[in-house]
Amino acid sequence: MSKPRIAILGLGIMGSGMARRLLSSGFHVVVFNRSWEKSLSLAKAGALVAESPKDAAARTDVILSMVADDNASRAVWLGENGALTGVSPGSILIESSTLSVVWVKELSALAGQHGCEFLDAPVTGTKPHAASGELFFMVGGSAAALEKVRSVLSVLGREVLHLGPVGSGALIKLINNFVCGVEAAAFAEAIALVDKSGLNREKCLAVLENSALASPLIKRIISSMKTNDYTPNFPLKLMTKDLGYAISESENAGATLKTAAPALEVFQHAAAEGLGDLDFSAVAKSFAQG
């Protein structure tokens, strides 16, 4: 069978890596990004550059969005010349952004009104995982729709897990990021305690790096601290957004995330310090600045 034609909407850290990965695997790829310059290197690699989301959707069978938040997702699907105005019945729409469950379900209903199938398929992983096809897809939607695009997602990810109906992927992604955010915020406060107590930071990092808490996330924060390199793989402002979404979803579910609100305050403080565009590991840097 011929490979489906794929549109990638959003060429940030993740979207650009995904588009390049698909191109290297021989897929016909159409890309769109609000900032034209982000499309140039992909055009040189063989991608077609669309003038609008509508244009991208009209040229393809599978439309995948990877943008920052609910507002950006609404704009790319529903805005002027949005993708939903260009889709053909039978197309499969994939939303891989980290979004609220409420919006994901609304978007799914709108896709159905256009005769399209919809999957919410956020991912775990960062920039290098997107480039190498090592993402982990958490998919909500029909199993039948997933099978139609499994060949696409399998190129992009090491694992494609079907979790259940629409919204399932979006919710577990927020749960995952909530836990990561709390862990990162707690570690940032721990380093502040090290510094204010007069302990030797380098030696304490050596202890913590070899203790039971040394998860991959903590090791990444420590590495950034040691090198003072906070080049964004996952921007701090997006972790801040995800903690807020997780709190809202817990309220909708009648649950209480008692540790999420303090963690959100820690990240909001870091964002207010001007660190929002740096990697989320810079949350520890905000305490050092303070």
d(CA 88, CA 281): 42
d(CA 272, CA 238): 14
Distances (CA, A) of 163 to 36, 69, 125, 170, 173: 35, 22, 18, 10, 11
Task: Check if 241 is active-site.
Answer: no
Question: Read out DSSP for the chain?
Answer: -PPPEEEEE--SHHHHHHHHHHHHTT-EEEEE-SSGGGGHHHHHTT-EE-SSHHHHHHT-SEEEE--SSHHHHHHHHHSTT-GGGTPPTT-EEEE-S---HHHHHHHHHHHHHTT-EEEE--EE--HHHHHHT-EEEEEES-HHHHHHHHHHHHHHEEEEEEEESTTHHHHHHHHHHHHHHHHHHHHHHHHHHHHHTT--HHHHHHHHHTSTT--HHHHHHHHHHHHT----SSBHHHHHHHHHHHHHHHHHHT---TTHHHHHHHHHHHIIIIITTSBGGGHHHHHHH-
Under the phi-then-psi rule, with left for phi > 0, alpha for psi from -120 to 50, and beta for the rest, what region is 174?
alpha
Given the residues 105, 127, 173, 237, the one annotated as active site: 173
**Of the candidates 252, 91, 78, which has an alpha carbon nearest to the alpha carbon of residue 167?**
252
Catalytically active residues, by annotation: 173
